[in-house]
A and B are shown apart, each in its own frame.
Chain A
């Protein structure tokens, strides 16, 4: 039984038994591209697939679809959902639960032991056994941190490389002025299309601080100063909440190395508070109270 058929069987069982109304998974789109799929009909489960190009973090669809705890007073149809989650995606679910975006009982997590996603996933005709994405090369836990059903076993972690870490070291070796020019060069290309924000499971503010009608924090102009304020502000708002799925960097049309910004803050959170986002449904230390002894 391939992983795809296992997922299809599980989806069929969940849908037929009425445990869930929708299964969010992956399907084969046009031009050999893998894309998110929303299956509600039992005989549609054949669309569901699993392959090395399943790069999207599907958990970004959950906050809009499920009810937060304080609203689950039984009103309205109970929209239970099943979701296919890779190990990195599953950490985002923990972040959602820690911030009470929805209650755990509304979700059936089909965790998939992941052997890594290939570079070029999400683009036309990806090379199905090409080199792994940077996040996958550095990934050591190949089993989801939270799941109801586990599909496949975790393949042994052979060699681990950390291209992002190397780039971080390079940047840290530069002078502040050098780093400033590095980032201004990248931010200059930004289009403010917000694909990085819309794809991010941790970015679910009703109105983004940087997109207000009254330009309180940044203006509407697509200019360097506003772009930098958006990227740095967003990076800060992800401190202790970003789980490193790096989808933001994948979808960026102008190849801004956004993962470096997130990695800088997640490294700082680990250094100062020994905290790794998504390990457990615990909110980020930056957003919570100082515990007693940290005077």
Chain B
């Protein structure tokens, strides 16, 4: 992890290098740390998150959607929903923000090697999974077959559409898209990601499933995966909750005795099933 700076609540100053509309109410922010602090994020691993400060409003946690291997710029997908996200959406390229991180644990990519992988992303929940996909694609030989199920409520809400061709053309990789309600020129699957999962019906043998999306989607996808024979330790999720420190101090993000910000956000379902409190 990065060197223990004295004050982990102090944000690092950073500049918005790219601000791009990805979908209605969702923007992609490319952030570069100033004063040479970029090194702190060199060790970022898939699944970690960071706090972005919209100075004047506050800070909020966002999954890091970029992979260190692919350049110094940190990318986040920010959906306009609350006070901080609304303030962030008003910022343009060149504006300064604050960054605190990288925080939390990460996906055990080492443990996934030689295994087949099933990645299920729902709406803006796809952003934290993107570094997982990039890591697999950049070291394709280390991993087995990759099945990507990507869902959204509407075709315009599907994230990273410009990367679908790279994903499809990668070796031994299949990409399936589904939307709740299609628009006129949608010819792919229609329906919930659980219906798509039943249709694809991947075998649980030597496979790890990774899910991220709205809590209700995680719940039903996970229940279906269990019925399909995926053992709890074959199913990974990344959870989110209201957070105010990301350092295990403010007590806000607890699920039972587990703190999502330090014990997570990535959990295997074996751990989640031990938690008495539900993430819903």
Contacts and interface: CB of A to CB of B under 8 A. Distances in A.
Interface of A: 213-214
Nearest to B57: A214
A214 B83 CA distance: 6
Contacts of A214: 57, 83
Interface string B54-65: 000100000000
B74 to A, nearest CB: 26
Interface string B64-92: 00000000000000000011000000000
Q: What is the predominant secondary structure among interface residues of chain A facing chain B?
A: loop
Contacts of B82: 213
Contacts of B83: 213-214
Nearest to B83: A214
4 contacts: A213-B82, A213-B83, A214-B57, A214-B83
A292 to B, nearest CB: 44
B86 to A, nearest CB: 8
B243 to A, nearest CB: 14
Nearest to A214: B83
A214 B57 CA distance: 7
Contacts of B57: 214
A214 B85 CA distance: 12
Contacts of A213: 82-83
A271 B82 CA distance: 44
B133 to A, nearest CB: 34
A176 to B, nearest CB: 35
Nearest to B87: A214
Nearest to A213: B83
A213 B86 CA distance: 12
A214 B82 CA distance: 9
B244 to A, nearest CB: 11
A213 B57 CA distance: 10
Nearest to A212: B83
A137 B214 CA distance: 57
Interface in B77-135: 82-83
Q: 4 nearest interchain CB pairs?
A: A214-B83, A213-B83, A213-B82, A214-B57
